[in-house]
Amino acid sequence: MTREEAQKVTKTILGYAEVPELEVRISETRRGFLRFARNEATTAGETTSMRLAVTAWKGRRRASVSAEVEMRVGRLDEAAARKVVADAEALAAISPEDREYMPLLGPQEYLEVDAYDEETAAAGPKQLAQRVRAAVEYARDKKTQGAGFLDQRVETSALANSNELFVYHPSTSVEFSMTARTSDETGSGYARMQSQAFRSLDLREAAAIAVKKATASRNAAERKPDEYPAILEPLAVSDLLGTFDFDARRAEEGRSVFSAADGKTRVGEQVFDKRLGMRADPANPLVPSTPYDDGGYPIQAATFVEKGVLKTLSSSRFWAKKQEREPGPFASNLILEGGEKSLNEIIQSTKRGVLVSRFWYIRTVDSQQALVTGLTRDGTFWVEDGEIVGPVKNFRFNDSMVRVLGDLDELGQSVRVGRRMVPAVRANGFRFTSLSDAV
């Protein structure tokens, strides 16, 4: 769906409204996928969906309804679209008042974000199968069992409202993940790659990473749980970052690790390691992301942490108005500034410690301390005198992510993991609390 088509469709749907405030979100998504297990393709397919979501306001009452609806220009399912609008209006009439009501935004200016790749959008099932074949054949040649998923998405989305706001965003994305297991099922490795462009991914390289970890992690030895120096690979760092946010309201209400006494926050304080920076930029070419939030408010480039100092927190439109400040800044991606060293160089400079490939089953224990618990997975190793001595059994951990990221010994080069750019790090101390027998 082109920008012009999206404008025509949203304008038509807005014309069905009988209330003064209506928001329309439309998305067209084509998804191609291929799943494989035991080194063989098991499921493949391609789906196309067109989704309409409408939010209606009657005074301060609001309701949202969504449905799959044909929305192409000249083929708009008018009856279905009218029903979605009518249902939203009817539900709004009987909904409780929204105590945090904010009027609709008018026209806004947005960053130009290049998140669409023509070659990736044009790739079909044959191209997906060819890409995966190289990974599967590598796993088979190395006598390991490979299982995983290749997911390709081509999406155009648009948001418009009855106050003349309109924004349009096309994007492509491709993600490949693979788990390799040894034949004796004592070793497991994992790798994941993401990009907006197929050509930037080497699936054979991903398979090589997973297979190498699987082979190296066989017959893991038991090591006493304790606080150890820890090398966290980028995937492990990204896993942990999902456990806290930069929400100003939570901080000012005393519910965040960034809270301070008397309704204040830790903005301006040294919270993280002095070398660590965190910023957001939807136009970043390596991790492009949506340049607007759920209500159409523009997302601009912003720095949240600079040289370890918390520089700002994010305020919703409602909270910003209440606190008499500007909304934002918002983040649709997160970029951690890294160093120059490779992961291998960090390992080689490590006297002793645990190397963690990734975490899973992470749960927040105490948000006021950013205290979380979880388990290591798919390759945990003991490092001594600059060398990987051998695999160790997986650990459960309990630690504060702010504490860990506030006491770093090394930062590696940042790489893309999902919608984040993150480095490998070496933390001076990481609290491993018990053992897990899971591979």
CB 249 within 8 A of CB 265: no
Q: What is residue 438's predicted lDDT score, i.e. its pLDDT? A: 87
Q: What is residue 35's predicted lDDT score, i.e. its pLDDT? A: 96
The architecture CATH gives domain 3-213 = 2-Layer Sandwich (3.30)
Q: What is residue 83's predicted lDDT score, i.e. its pLDDT? A: 97
The model's confidence at residue 351, banded by pLDDT at 50, 70 and 90, is very high
- Strand partners of residue 432: 397
CB 5 within 8 A of CB 26: no
Q: What is the mean pLDDT of residues 337-350?
A: 93
Q: What is the mean pLDDT of the chain?
A: 95
The model's confidence at residue 71, banded by pLDDT at 50, 70 and 90, is confident
The model's confidence at residue 410, banded by pLDDT at 50, 70 and 90, is very high
DSSP helix/strand/coil, 424: strand
What's the CA gap between 273 and 321, in Å, rounded?
A: 32
List the single range of 64-78, 109-123, 139-153 with lowest mean pLDDT.
Answer: 64-78
Closest-CA residue to 352 (of 394, 382, 378, 392): 382
Q: What is residue 360's predicted lDDT score, i.e. its pLDDT? A: 94
Q: What is residue 255's predicted lDDT score, i.e. its pLDDT? A: 94
**Segment 194-230, tens digit of pLDDT:** 999 999 999 999 999 999 999 999 999 999 999 999 9
Domain limits of the chain? 3-213, 220-439
Closest-CA residue to 382 (of 372, 400, 394, 374): 394
Amino acid identity of 275?
A: R
Q: What is residue 74's predicted lDDT score, i.e. its pLDDT? A: 74
Fill in the DSSP letter of residue 285. Answer: S
The model's confidence at residue 178, banded by pLDDT at 50, 70 and 90, is very high
In the chain, the percentage of residues whose pLDDT exceeds 90 is 93
**Segment 18-42, tens digit of pLDDT:** 999 999 999 999 999 999 999 999 9
Tokens 């279905």, residue located: 80
In the chain, the percentage of residues whose pLDDT exceeds 70 is 100
Does residue 13 register a pLDDT over 80?
A: yes
| Strand 40-58 versus strand 61-68 pairing type | antiparallel
The model's confidence at residue 162, banded by pLDDT at 50, 70 and 90, is very high
The model's confidence at residue 404, banded by pLDDT at 50, 70 and 90, is very high
Tokens 């070398």, residue located: 275
Does residue 73 register a pLDDT over 80?
A: no
Q: What is the mean pLDDT of residues 119-123?
A: 93
Give the Cα-Cα-Cα angle 186, 192, 197 (nearest 5 degrees). Answer: 155
Q: What is residue 383's predicted lDDT score, i.e. its pLDDT? A: 97
What's the CA gap between 432 and 429, in Å, rounded?
A: 9
Please give the backbone phi and psi of residue 25, each rounded to the nearest 5 degrees, phi first. Answer: -120, 130
What's the CA gap between 6 and 71, in Å, rounded?
A: 9
What's the CA gap between 207 and 176, in Å, rounded?
A: 10
Q: What is residue 243's predicted lDDT score, i.e. its pLDDT? A: 81
78-94 vs 3-14: helix axis angle to the nearest 10? 50
